[in-house]
Structure formats: C-alpha cells, structure tokens
Chain A
Amino acid sequence: MTILQPLEKKTLAEKLYLVRFKTDTESHLKVDPEKCKLCRERGCIYICPADVYKLDEKENIAISYEACLECGTCRITCEFIDWKNPRGGFGVCYRYG
C-alpha cells in the first residue's frame, strides 16, 4: 500500500519549485561586496533556508532573490545585508503558510 511508503524525498530546489512566487525584476536584497570580501563567517550562505546567497566563481556573493521566502533571518544574521520588502504583491505568495 502506498500509504506505508516513506515520505517522498525532495531536494531544496524541488521544494522551492512547489512554492508560488511572483518574481520582480529587481532584487529586494543587497549586500556590500566590500564587507563580504572581509567577512570570514559568511553566515548568509548557510543560514538562509532557501539558499539565496551563494559564492560565485570569483568568490563574490551572488543573490538569487527570486527564491527568497522573506523570513528575514539573513537580516538578523548579518548587519551588512540591506533588506527591503519586495514590491507590493511581488515575492513569495504562500498557498498554505
């Protein structure tokens, strides 16, 4: 019986695919590249539940703001993140929440 099968496994990317987003053309999140260069902890990279912050080939922080769940955790984690609310109606749009 299917009901006794283990819960399906999904990667983070697959899970984010289930979330409804209305994507804006501009990022509501900004970092200060100068500060990031000096930052050793790079807390933004692992504290974000949606992997919005990643290191690119040149070791700069790249921001996939499109996947942001708008929890605000990165803003509390790092004082150099400039966090604005996305434009009205844009961003994450939970169907369950």
Chain B
Amino acid sequence: MTDKFDCIIIGAGPSGIACAFAMAKAGLDVVVIERGEYPGSKNVSGGVLYSTILNKLIPNFWQDAPVERHVVKKRYSILSKDSEMALELNFNNFNNPPYNDSFTILRSKFDRWFAKKAEDTGAFVLTETVVDDFIWKDGKVIGVKARREDGDVYADVVVCAEGANSLLAEKSGLKKKPADNQMITAAKEVISLPREVIEDRFNLEADEGLTMEFFGDAVKGMIGSGFIYTNKDSLSVGVGCPISVMKKRNMHPNDLLDAFKSHPMIKKFLRGGKIEELSAKMIPELGYKNLSRLVANGLLIVGDAAGFVNPSLYREGSNMAMASGVMAAEAILEAKGKGDFSEAGLAGYGKRLQESFVMKDLERYCDAPERLAEAPELFKEYPDAILKMAEGYFTISDMPKREAQQLARRHFKDKVSIWKFLWDMYKVRKSIL
C-alpha cells in the first residue's frame, strides 16, 4: 500500500467510524484501520448508546441498526449487605422517536453495522490490521506504520480513535499515560434469558428497556458501581471501579463481578440465566484538567483516547466519541479548504469541542471523581447507616413508634457525623448530578 489518502483513521469504534462517515460523505478518501477481525470484535461497553449525533448522521437509524431496546426506565439503587434502597424512573414519553436517544446495544453487533454504513458512504475499512506508530516528517504526522507487509500508509492527516488503551496517543507525546486513579476497570457478562422473561421480570413492554445502576455493597463499598442493562434476549451485567481503588483492596475484577451477581438483591434478577460471554475494558476518567492535548501537525485525537467520557451519573461516552469524531471531520474539511493541516490549520477541532456539550459537560463535571474519592463514606458507611435506620423505621414491633424511630435515628447518629454527612451530600450532588 503506497497510496496516499486524504485521511487515515485509527480504530473503528464510534468515534473513528463517525469521523470516517462524515468525511466520506463530503467526498474525501478515507481509510479506517482496525485491529480486530471485524469492527466491534475488540469493543465493550455497558451498553447504552446515546444517539443524538448518530441520529444526525443517519436519521431514524434505529429502524435499521442492531439496537437492543430503547431505555424508558432507569433505576438507581444503593445496597448494603442485605438491604436495598432504590429509585426507579419510568417515562412513557421515551417510547416515542427519537426514544430519548438512549438505546441498549451490544458493541460487536452495533460497531459492525456502523462501520458498514461508513463503507456504504465511501470509506474504506481495513480490518485485521494494527497500527504500531505514526510516521513523522519535519515535526508533522504524514502517515502510519501498519503491522503488515508494505505497511506504511500516507495521508494529509491522521485521526487517532484508538480508545481508552491509548498506546499511540501516548507514543505521539500528546498524552501522558493515565494514572491508576484516572482509569476505571470494568468486567462484564452477557447473560441470556428468554425475551418474555426479561419483559415480565422487569415489567417492560416489547422493545422497552431498563438500565439499573447499583452502588454501595454492589462493589463492596468501593467507589464505583455495578449495572444491569436489558437487551432483547440477554442482560448486560457488570461492575466497574477505579484501578487505584481495586489495587488498594487487592480486588480481582472477576471476583468482584461474581460477588455482585450473588448479592441477595441482585441474584433474583438473574435467575434462570445462561452466561454467554465474559468481557473486560477500561473507562477513562482523566478529569477535565488532565485531558490529552488534542491536535498536533497532521494529527487529531478523538473519543476515549482523548478522555471524552462524562464521569458523572450520566456516564456518556458513546455520544462524546461520535461528536468528537464528527467535529474532527469538520475541522479536517476546513483545513483541506485552506490546504493547511498544521496544528494551527486544524484548530477548528478544539474550537468546536469547546463550544459543544463535550467540553462544557467535561468541565461541569471536572471534579466528580475527586469529590467522590474525598468521601469514601458515600459508598459504605452512609448506605449502611441509612438502610439500618430505614430498617428500624419500618420494622414492626410492639415498641411505640416514637421510641422505635428515636432508636433508629440514634443508631444513625452513632455511625455517622450528621454535619459531615450533609456536607458530603451537598458536594456530591453538585458534582455528579
């Protein structure tokens, strides 16, 4: 391969494909180089696709795409060892297009479909090929070294969409290797169940979906969470915690996942299921201040590689990935118009990001991980104390209610400093909601 492309994109995840799609649509010669056997074969997410950007690229995509269910119900819960406190929200309006732009997906299926769409638009997707490095000349990226015979490929500009395990972005010098408190490690299983059972068990009508997030004892009182998302005829079940926290507790991700699945409040949801697949992946939580540099001469970084995941309760990564991919494409088109692919010529990328929800949300939730790390009680002592107090309130006995309630409250106050509790709650609400 000695041809020169307008643009080379490394990685066929949501960010890379969205970028390729937008450029191919504008008539550019683009190649996406993907290391997996097919797009999606290396990719894992919890699986809610947030689709505002996708719906602009491919209007009414859900009629064609392999989406599982549209999310109408969201459930958040806190577990202690033997109790649960949950909040469930259910919105009938989300049953109408565009379905609140939230669909559960399985990435191996979805990414493959999305890449096919980019190919149909004119992009070239080269699979089973690893990129090992950039080719630099006079301080500018002019191509990539692919690990195959005649593997040097050239282009005006290269987009690095390699995801969270960002070997190349780090090699380029634009990004520092993330520290262990800036990365979440997650383990997940896909557990199959008949469709009717899922709909019956979770009280869903056809194609309606539910996402459930679990905190507290779900992950042994560590910062992090467990989740169950409904697919058509399977559940995505997983846990994720910062690597630093796992390390401190000598915690094995698979053991943590098994403990979550056998929690008395969780195992009921999984009855009769059959494990289909185990997977694992990292989620970046670099924090706004530690994001990667985004542009060099002839090079842009998009998606997870750049650190674009909202660390708050919203947990959006897929739409930020696609948005950054599309903005990179727009900036490249602009640069092509000027014939200037230098850092300055590509500056439109950073500008677009700054004006969009991507940087605004990342900035808004910039300190969520740190705030949570400052109050570890949130995940262990508080849930335990609140649930004990609630149990006291609701336990039927011959004790007069007033005494029982006093006892329950006293129990809470013995365990928790009220002022610290209120202060922590205030800080957390501000930083994650």
Closest residue of chain A to B249, judged by CB? A46
Check if B250 is an interface residue, CB within 8 A of chain A.
yes
Given A3-B197, A73-B185, A97-B279; A47-B247 close (CB under 8 Å): yes
Kindly count the residue-residue contacts between A and B in the assembled complex, taking CB atoms under 8 Å apart: 165
- Measured CB to CB, the closest approach of chain B to A66, in angstroms, equals 14
Whether A93 lies near B36 (C-beta < 8 A) is yes
Cα-based distance from A47 to B246 in the complex (angstroms): 7
Given A47-B247, A47-B252; A73-B271 close (CB under 8 Å): no
Considering only residues 259-303 of chain B, those with a C-beta below 8 Å from chain A are: 261, 267, 270-282
- Measured CB to CB, the closest approach of chain A to B22, in angstroms, equals 24
Interface residues of B (CB under 8 A from A): 35-37, 40-45, 106-109, 111, 127-130, 132, 146-148, 164-165, 167, 177-180, 183, 185-187, 189-191, 193-194, 197, 234, 243, 246-247, 250-254, 257, 261, 267, 270-282
- A12 proximity list for chain B (CB < 8 A): 254, 278
Whether A97 lies near B234 (C-beta < 8 A) is no
- A96 proximity list for chain B (CB < 8 A): 106-109, 190, 234, 276-277, 279
Interface residues on A, range: 35 or more
B250 touches which of A46, A49, A72 (Cβ 8 Å): A46
Whether B272 lies near A97 (C-beta < 8 A) is no
A73 touches which of B109, B177, B282 (Cβ 8 Å): B282
Considering only residues 18-51 of chain A, those with a C-beta below 8 Å from chain B are: 18-19, 22, 41, 43, 46-51
Whether B37 lies near A93 (C-beta < 8 A) is yes
- B37 proximity list for chain A (CB < 8 A): 22, 89, 93
- B272 proximity list for chain A (CB < 8 A): 2-5, 7
For A83-96 the 0/1 string (1 means CB < 8 A from B) is 11111110111111
- Measured CB to CB, the closest approach of chain B to A7, in angstroms, equals 4
Check if A62 is an interface residue, CB within 8 A of chain B.
no
With A12-B278, A94-B277 already in contact, 14 other A-B pairs whose C-beta atoms are closer than 8 Å:
A3-B194, A18-B277, A18-B278, A47-B247, A50-B278, A69-B279, A72-B164, A76-B180, A83-B167, A85-B35, A94-B107, A95-B108, A95-B277, A97-B107
- A4 proximity list for chain B (CB < 8 A): 271-272
Closest residue of chain A to B184, judged by CB? A73
